[in-house]
């Protein structure tokens, strides 16, 4: 029997983490496997030889030393007793299996999302006129001139504003900002660059809603963190105005699978697996594109000229090296980077607020970062 397992967040936040074991995720009849439907080049590992132009660009970027004056790396000690108990619970639940496909996963997410309630002192409102389905989040003490574009996680194939509404609202409250959360199009129905186009369209629209770039930050978790970075790189390439800052939580930055911790942390991570989950999702999202393209895998991009960046990652994550490599590359390109590595934390632990103290502290840190750069 084909197996996969899922971990349901015990906090009422309606965020599911699905991990596939030994099956091909599909929507509708499985006419083709992922391998048949996608060219091999789409999901080549990071070590695959590149074209001459790519090699020159990569060599130029890799030759730059890490600018320690631009990179602030901080290790956050932990976990607390509560955090340790939640981690133990996640590790125990990760041993349970259930048969599920992507369509069922999305249905479960939607069902669970209906049970979640917004935190006290926060509200939501449909963003009328937005080019992409979006929702405004506010808190009682919101400064409407301070804005955030939020891009949710879900491996580019699931998740929504609804599944992430509690986390988004908590960030709105912490940053005392109004937050536009976007329901960008998902793969495999809409592979790259659909999500990127939606993110750019929402960002451009915000400027006409009292959110000029200099008063805006972009924030995202997991795949949404990768999409945040891809949006910055695309805006820079197109010579569009950049936001004042960006913050990413457990960012997925390398869909080509070049990170060392994908294997070294496989048994430590209670949420994600590469071979049986992230890799198939990467194929869905990359479509016919090259997985090492910077707008698919931002870790391969040139970050020169980008705004200050906050990166939060747990040391239990298989995506730890996605975050550390991002920090090193961005700082080498001259970006002011704060990298926080949280001991004993798992993928997007911020979503466990207010139950887990580390989650609350991390969200508070995101809020303080945004306020510092959008005062």
State pLDDT tens for residues 331-361.
999 999 999 999 999 999 999 999 999 999 9
Among residues 222, 250, 293, 297, the one annotated as catalytic is 222
DSSP 179: E
Residue 126 has pLDDT above 70, yes or no: yes
Q: How confident is the model over 41-75, as pLDDT tens digits?
A: 333 333 333 433 344 344 334 445 666 679 999 99
Given a contact cutoff of 8 angstroms between Cβ atoms, the answer to whether 325 and 257 are in contact is no
Task: Determine the pLDDT at residue 225.
Answer: 98
Contact of 98 with 6, CB cutoff 8 Å: yes
Mean pLDDT of 147-158: 98
**Phi, psi angles (nearest 5°) of residue 8:** -95, 125
Task: Specify the pLDDT at position 94.
Answer: 84
The 10s digit of each residue's pLDDT in 272-303 is 999 989 999 999 999 999 999 999 999 999 99
Q: What is the pLDDT of residue 68?
A: 67
Query: Which tens digit of pLDDT belongs to each residue from 4-26?
Result: 334 443 333 334 443 322 233 33
pLDDT tens profile 212-235: 999 999 999 999 999 999 999 999
Residue 306 has pLDDT above 70, yes or no: yes
Output the average pLDDT for the chain.
Answer: 85
Q: Is residue 47 among the annotated active site residues?
A: no
pLDDT at 20: 28
Quote the CA–CA distance of 242 and 258 in Å, as a whole number. 28
Q: Which residues of 144-170 are buried (b: 16+ CB within 10 A; e: fewer)?
A: eebbbbbbbbbbbbbbbbbbbbbbbbb
Domains and CATH numbers, the chain: 65-95+118-373 (3.40.50.1820)
- Alpha carbons 349 and 333: distance in angstroms, whole number: 29
* pLDDT per position as a tens digit, 234-261: 999 999 999 999 999 999 999 999 999 9
Q: Active-site residue 43, yes or no? A: no
Distance CA(120)–CA(354), nearest Å, equals: 12
The pLDDT assigned to 278 comes to 95
Query: Greatest CA separation found in the chain?
Result: 55
What pLDDT is attached to residue 180? 98
Q: Is 358 a catalytic residue?
A: no
Catalytic residue among 265, 297, 317, 321: 317
pLDDT score for 18: 33
190, 265, 347, 373: the catalytic one is 347
Asked if residues 250 and 319 have their Cβ atoms less than 8 Å apart, the reply is yes
Mean pLDDT over residues 111-130, rounded?
94
Q: How far apart are CA 226 and CA 40, in angstroms?
A: 22
Q: How confident is the model at residue 99 (pLDDT cuts 50, 70, 90)?
A: low
pLDDT in tens, 132-145: 999 999 999 999 99
Which of 74-78, 115-119, 213-217 has the weakest average pLDDT?
115-119
């Amino acid at each position: 029997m084909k197996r996969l397992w899922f971990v349901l967040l015990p906090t009422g936040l309606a965020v599911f983490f699905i991990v596939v074991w030994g099956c091909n995720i599909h929507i509708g009849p499985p006419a083709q496997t992922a391998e048949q439907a996608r060219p091999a080049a789409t999901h080549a590992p990071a070590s695959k030889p590149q074209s001459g132009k790519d090699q020159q660009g990569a060599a130029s970027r890799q030759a730059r030393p890490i600018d320690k004056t631009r990179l602030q790396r901080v290790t956050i000690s932990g976990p607390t007793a509560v955090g340790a108990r939640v981690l133990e619970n996640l590790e125990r639940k990760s041993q349970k299996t259930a048969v599920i496909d992507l369509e069922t996963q999305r249905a479960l997410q939607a069902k669970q999302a209906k049970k979640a309630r917004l935190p006290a002192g926060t509200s939501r409102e449909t963003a009328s006129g937005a080019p992409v389905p979006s929702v405004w989040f506010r808190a009682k003490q919101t400064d409407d001139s301070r804005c955030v574009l939020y891009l949710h996680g879900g491996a580019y194939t699931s998740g929504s504003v609804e599944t992430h509404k509690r986390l988004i609202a908590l960030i709105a409250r912490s940053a005392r900002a109004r937050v536009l959360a976007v329901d960008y199009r998902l793969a495999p129905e809409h592979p790259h660059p659909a999500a990127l186009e939606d993110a750019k369209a929402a960002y451009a629209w915000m400027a006409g809603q009292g959110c000029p770039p200099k008063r805006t930050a972009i924030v995202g978790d997991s795949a949404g963190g990768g999409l945040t970075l891809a949006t910055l790189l695309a805006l820079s390439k197109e010579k569009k105005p950049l936001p004042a800052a960006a913050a990413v939580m457990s960012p997925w930055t390398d869909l080509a699978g070049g990170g060392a911790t994908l294997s070294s942390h496989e048994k430590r991570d209670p949420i994600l697996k590469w071979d049986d989950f992230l890799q198939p999702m990467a194929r869905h999202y990359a479509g016919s594109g090259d997985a090492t393209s910077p707008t698919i895998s931002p870790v391969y991009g040139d970050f020169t000229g980008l705004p200050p960046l906050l990166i939060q990652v747990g040391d239990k994550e298989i995506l730890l090296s996605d975050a550390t490599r991002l920090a090193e590359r961005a700082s080498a390109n001259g970006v002011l980077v704060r990298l926080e590595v949280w001991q004993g934390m798992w993928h997007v632990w911020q979503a466990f607020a207010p139950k887990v103290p580390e989650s609350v502290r991390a969200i508070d840190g995101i809020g303080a970062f945004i306020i510092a750069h959008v005062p």
